[in-house]
Amino acid sequence: MKNKFVFFLLFLLLNLGLQAQTVKYSNEFLAIGVGANALGMSNSTVATVNDVTAGYWNPAGLLGIKSNYQAALMHSEYFAGIAKYDYCVFAKKIDTSSVIGFSIIRFAVDDIPNTTQLINSNGQIDYSRITTFSAADYGFLFSYAKRFNISGLVFGANAKVVRRIVGNFANSWGFGIDAGIQYAKGTWQFGAMARDITTTFNAWSYNLDDATKAVFLQTGNIIPSNSLEITLPKLILGVAKTVNYRKFSAMAQLNTDWSFDGMRNVLIRSDILSIDPHLGIELGYTGIVYLRGGVGNIQEIKETGGVVVKTIQPNMGIGVKLKGVSIDYALTNVGQQAGLLSNVFSLKFDINAKKNK
């Protein structure tokens, strides 16, 4: 319970600061990634994604779906199980040149103790006054993909709705647009995904009763007011090379995330632009079994004594695909610290699958 309460304080303080600054990590829950297959390759998938998860990574990739319908589910937990991360998606082929999809993402901390009313009117601690609430972020993505007359070129776009709720204290609605393209030439594949191309905004409103406001004042916190949070655009570029030999396949892909919201702790950074590279590799056998690995999240960390060291996050995973059903697993170190390894499982299945002619 103590860990959840500390996490809530950090979560709430972050949101309280949104009204007075240009937010660098706005809607960051939408940048975690989905699908154990992609997470096992350190999120290096924008150029090659060709299944229902493309609605998140690059909607252009939805045109790679071979069945009439495809769906996927994923569940993972972070911070020793404190935070729950869930994802589900469904896509449908309209015809041979267009696909639509719908995705839901939820990142939440549930059952957080609310101790703002712990002390009663007599100044005594009353544990019966403790209630619980959830701090939850939701993303709803409506995707569309279209094939061009140019050979190898496909295009996709998302219209997304963002809903964020912190108990009865605060909530917001947000809207934005993403767009992506993929191009294939021989064994080479290229991809580009522009997130929040129009900028995405979250309109926050706060609902604090008099007693809660009094607690804020007594503890030296500023009482928040309704505000607007802006998410600046991000560009993700990818290039991949695929080689097939008999029953084996090998694919290597390099992605770079270009952020324009100020300096981030990444490999290449400046006050205006930050570039975060990540590399993934996938080895396949007969189109059934896949081994995956990747590296990314290159940062500089200051250790005890002021020594600065460079860290790299390794990821790995495995996948099995059989008769239209895919089960994938990824092991990823989300927090860059010992003990914070996350086990991610995802399930994907085709409906009314058609055989290639």
Indicate whether 282 belongs to any domain: no
Indicate whether 113 belongs to any domain: yes
- Cβ partners under 8 Å of residue 122, min gap 6: none
Indicate whether 242 belongs to any domain: no
CB atoms within 10 A of CB 184: 19
Look up the domain containing 343 and give its range.
2-233+317-351
Res. 73 pLDDT band, cuts 50 70 90? very high
Res. 107 pLDDT band, cuts 50 70 90? very high
Indicate whether 248 belongs to any domain: no
Average pLDDT over residues 329-339: 66
The residue behind tokens 């309460």 is: 5
Q: What percent of the chain has pLDDT over 90?
A: 55
Q: What is the pTM of this model?
A: 0.84
Angle at 254 between CA 47 and CA 175, to 5 degrees: 55
Q: Which two tokens stand for residue 297?
A: 């999240």
Res. 45 pLDDT band, cuts 50 70 90? very high
| DSSP letter assigned to residue 211 | H
Per-residue pLDDT reduced to its tens digit, 263-320:
898 999 998 899 999 999 999 999 999 999 999 988 888 887 778 888 888 999 999 9
3-state secondary structure of 243: strand
Average pLDDT over residues 155-167: 95
Spatial distance between the Cα atoms of 143 and 99, rounded to a whole number of angstroms: 8
Indicate whether 164 belongs to any domain: yes
Give the residue ranges of DSSP H helices in the chain: 2-16, 36-39, 54-57, 210-218
Is pLDDT larger for residue 131 or for residue 121? 131
Does the pLDDT at position 4 exceed 60? no
- Cβ partners under 8 Å of residue 53, min gap 6: 34, 35, 37, 38, 72, 89, 348
Indicate whether 303 belongs to any domain: no
Strand partners, 142: 102, 159
Q: Which region holds residue 320: left if phi is over 0, alpha if psi is between -120 and 50, else beta? A: beta
Domains of the chain: total: 1
pLDDT of residue 334: 57
Does the pLDDT at position 13 exceed 50? no
Residue 3 is inside which H or E element, if any? Answer: helix 2-16
Mean pLDDT of the chain: 86
